[in-house]
Amino acid sequence: MTPRWAVEGRDWPNRDASRFVDAGGLRWHVQVAGAGPVLLLLHGTGAATHSWRDLLPLLAPDFTVIAPDLPGHGFTSGRPIGGLSMPAMARAVAALLVKLDMKSVAIVGHSAGAAIGIRMTLDGFVEPQKIIGLSAALLPFPGLAAKLFPALARALFVNPFAPHIMARIARTPGEVARFLPRSTGSRIDARGTELYARLLGNSSHVAGAITMMAEWDLEALRRDLPRLATPLLLAHGEADSAIAARYAAEAVALVQNGRAMLLPGLGHLAHEERPADVAAIIREEAT
């Protein structure tokens, strides 16, 4: 069952900005706040709008901020046509923007969210003036991991018990608090940790994350990156233990107009560790 808004979402960050919108065959949970040029925030795999809890209020004075829970994640329910593949998710987010009557001026994507934003642009759904990737996941894993990681995700995907087992583990006291620093290189506040635990303890949310990983095709994105003409900034946590910082430089080398920026001392969740610093970067790049 999708996380319940009245239960898991009872005290959701920036709850007053939340609304539920039907678009593209999904019922979206999306947060809309602020005024000014449109800024689309796309979270990464396994996260939701809570990932922007401190960043969104900092950006709202300068932008109309749109932050959805991606398909299969958080409080968004339903599945887009084509499942949770990158092209299907890009098409689904584009349909949401049409329903909201919003045209994205800039896209900020964290991890896999950056890949979705770039895919939306490459496929002609949006024409942003700038794309900013935060610890962006744009390139396939190197060597043997390129084959093992997707295969593992697919194996979990076909096991109907896997999401329930993983959710049960996440509900073990302290497990998420131990897992996040190890897997991301980031140390976030107790509030953020509790929200991740709340979501990762829900088997539907876990199933969405597993399905997304099983259907992800970064090889196709890498082949298409040279077609990207939109200016791209990849700001990457120097201490990111999920995606090595060197991949930012490799990715920008493939595009027509790219630049990489290291965020010293920060991990994969840099925008949750230092939201004010990341907001300053976004504000400077997107205005």
CA atoms of 266 and 284, how far apart (whole Å): 20
Rounded distance between C-alpha atoms, residue 120 and residue 104, angstroms: 11
Q: Please say if the pLDDT value at position 147 is more than 60.
A: no
Higher-confidence position of 184 and 146: 184
Computed over every residue of the chain, the mean pLDDT equals 89
pTM of the model: 0.92
Q: How far apart are CA 253 and CA 115, in angstroms?
A: 16
pLDDT of residue 208: 87
Q: Which fold has domain 15-143+218-286?
A: Rossmann fold (3.40.50)
- pLDDT at residue 145 in the model: 41
Dump pLDDT digits (tens) for 124-146. 999 999 999 999 999 986 543 44
pLDDT tens column, 225-262 = 999 999 999 999 999 999 999 999 999 999 999 999 99
Number of alpha helices (DSSP H) and beta strands (DSSP E) in the chain: 12, 8
**Is 279:59 a contact under the CB 8 Å cutoff?**
yes
Q: What is the pLDDT of residue 142?
A: 54
Torsion of CA 40, 46, 51, 52, to 10 degrees: 10
